[in-house]
Every structure is written in structure tokens, then in C-alpha cells.
Structure 1
Amino acid sequence: MNDELRHELLALADEDQHVRKAAGERAGPGEEIPDDLAREWARVDGRNTARLAEVVGEHGWPTRSLVGDDGANAAWLLAQHADRNLDRQKRFLDLMRAAVAANEASAVDLAYLTDRVATHAGQPQIYGTQLRPGPDGRLTAYPIADSDMVDQRRAALGLDPLVDYIAASQQR
């Protein structure tokens, strides 16, 4: 295991979450994030995306064997938030897909990244992990491909039924 890389990924993920928590504390649901925090958020995401691309170039996808479960989860989080660079995010998705096939990354994390990339590309999601406020302010899933089967796909990964996921997310 590469402990140095693991610790770096964990630190980057901590910073990712710190800026999002700060934004959540200063802007309520449906409110605009203050400009200073929006700029910081974009800076953190841009830097983290670039660094993850460097890591991938040097080591390949950060797998469980390379950086442990928590390090692999941190790499996924950085990829999940690489929204400003869809091409890189798609590349991360391809690499993570191969890692999951080798049991070197989380299938649940892959489901979230799959849906994130799909929604940002204007495509329907597969697992219903990506939510947005509806007209009434309540959370609703972005469009889902073959939505009648979404709970079966979610169950295959150990995810709760979509209605339960939305209800739990609404309470956060």
C-alpha cells in the first residue's frame, strides 16, 4: 500500500468536504452560495481534479490495494466532484469501472459516478443517485433510464429503494 498517496487523497477529500460544508452553513436550501465560497469551491474542485488526473497518470486508478478502502473512496469523491471537466470525469469513470470489475473499488461509488456523469452529459441516470429540488422544493431524482427497474438495480448493489433514498436525503 502507498500510505503517502493514501494520506494525500484523504487530505484532498477533507478539503473537498470542508468547502461544501462551509457553503451549506452559509446558504440555505435553494439559496445561492456566496460568491467568495463559490470561487473557493471551484478552485478546490479544479485543483483536486487536476491532481487526481496526475495520480491516475502516475499510478492508474487509486485502487483498494494501492491506497486502501478509504483512499479509494477519497479518489471516487474527487472524481464525483470533477464536474467542471466532463471529459476527465468520463475518463475517471472508465478507470473506476475497470477497478470495480477487479474488485478494487466500490460498486456503490461507481453507481454514483455513473449517474453523475450521465446527468451532466444530459443523459438519464441508471441508479437514481442524483437528486435535485423539484418545483415544490422537495427532492426528486433526475430522469432515470428504465425507471421501473431502478429499485432492482439499486438492490443489486445493496442500495435502499429509491423512495427511501429520496426521503432520507430530504431530511439531511
Structure 2
Amino acid sequence: MNQELAEELHRRAEKDEAARYHVLETRHDTEMCRIDAENTAWLERVIVEHGWPGISIVGELGAEEAWLLAQHADLSPAFQRRALELMKTAVVAGEASARRLAYLTDRVLVAAGEPQMYGTQYTNDPDDSNLRRQPVADPERLDERRAAVGLEPAAEYDRRMRS
């Protein structure tokens, strides 16, 4: 395991989360966007040097944090798509979470204007009055797809998102 890399992932993930809480409190996302851009550039360099930072390289927590940085790389859709492909391979190899892959899959699809597969992505009206799930492909089989990757039923997730 690469302890130094795991520690840097942890530091960056903590900064990422703190920036998101700050946005909730202040409605200003400038700092969050700056942190996301820094984390994306850093993760791109890590991938070039080490490949996808999977469990055997950075441990389970580090692999989750690598996913988090890729999930929040919205300012770089091409990188997010690349991360998605690398993470698919990592899941097959047991190096990443299928559950987290579902979130990144949906994020990439929604960013491309396509319906999501797992129902993990929501949007809000500009005035925060209406939280709603982004469109889903084949909604009749949504819970089946969610269960296959270890996600709770869509109705339960929807309740949690709204609370």
C-alpha cells in the first residue's frame, strides 16, 4: 500500500467535503470549484503515475476517496469519463466499489444529457423548492439494477435524499 498517496487522498477528500458544506451554508461555490479543479488535476497526475488508485494501492478508504474526487470532477467531463472507464476495470478486479461506480456512471450520464441507470443523481430548482431525481432509463428495472450493485431501493434513497 502507498501510505503517502492514501494520506494525500484523505486530505483532499476532507477539503472537498468541507468546501461542499461551505456552499450549503453560504451559497458561494467559488472555493469549491477551485478545490475541485485542483483535485482533478492532481488525480489525473496520480492516474498517469499509478493507474486507478484502487484498494491494493491506497486501501478501502483511499479508493472511496479517489472515487469522491472523480465524482466531483464535474468541471472536466472528459476526465470524469476516463475515470469511469478506469473504475469499471477496477471494479472487475476487486479494486473499487460497484456501488460507487454506479454513482459515477449516473453522474457522467447526466452530464452528457442522458438518462441515468441507478437513480443516484438529483437536481433542485434554482430556489431550492423542488428536489427531484434526474431522468432514469428503464425505470421499471431501477430497483433491480440498484440491488445488483448494493444500493437500497429507489424509494428509500429518495426518502433519504429529501430528509
Superposition TM-score, scaled by structure 2 size: 0.95
Deviations 1:40-94 (A, max 9, x none): 1111000000000000000000000000000000000000000011000000000
- Once residues 60 and 165 of structure 1 are traced to their aligned partners in structure 2, the CA distance between those partners, rounded to angstroms, is 32
Deviations 1:125-161 (A, max 9, x none): 0000001136993422111111110000011122111
Paired residue for 1:76, among 51, 67, 77?
67
Letter of the 2:150 partner, please give it.
Answer: G
Letter of the 1:19 partner, please give it.
Answer: A
CA contact under 8 A between 2:55 and 2:96: conserved in structure 1?
Answer: yes
- Consecutive unaligned residues of structure 1, counting only runs of 5 or more, are 27-32
Q: Bigger shift: 117-126 or 133-142?
A: 133-142
Paired residue for 1:147, among 121, 133, 139?
139
- Once residues 142 and 169 of structure 1 are traced to their aligned partners in structure 2, the CA distance between those partners, rounded to angstroms, is 13
Letter of the 1:109 partner, please give it.
Answer: R
- Count, aligned residues: 162
Matched residue, 2:16: 16
Letter of the 2:115 partner, please give it.
Answer: P
CA contact under 8 A between 2:123 and 2:132: conserved in structure 1?
Answer: yes
1:117 to 2:108 alignment: yes
CA contact under 8 A between 1:15 and 1:44: conserved in structure 2?
Answer: yes
- Consecutive unaligned residues of structure 2, counting only runs of 5 or more, are none
CA contact under 8 A between 1:115 and 1:125: conserved in structure 2?
Answer: yes
Counterparts of residues 2-151 of structure 1 (less than 5 Å):
2-26=2-26, 33-34=27-28, 38-133=29-124, 137-151=129-143
Aligned-residue Cα RMSD (Å) equals: 1.3
- Once residues 16 and 158 of structure 1 are traced to their aligned partners in structure 2, the CA distance between those partners, rounded to angstroms, is 25
- Once residues 18 and 90 of structure 1 are traced to their aligned partners in structure 2, the CA distance between those partners, rounded to angstroms, is 25
Runs of 4+, deviation exceeding 2 Å: 133-139
- Once residues 133 and 56 of structure 2 are traced to their aligned partners in structure 1, the CA distance between those partners, rounded to angstroms, is 34
CA contact under 8 A between 1:138 and 1:170: conserved in structure 2?
Answer: no
Letter of the 1:39 partner, please give it.
Answer: T
Q: Percent identity?
A: 49
CA contact under 8 A between 2:64 and 2:100: conserved in structure 1?
Answer: yes
Matched residue, 2:149: 157
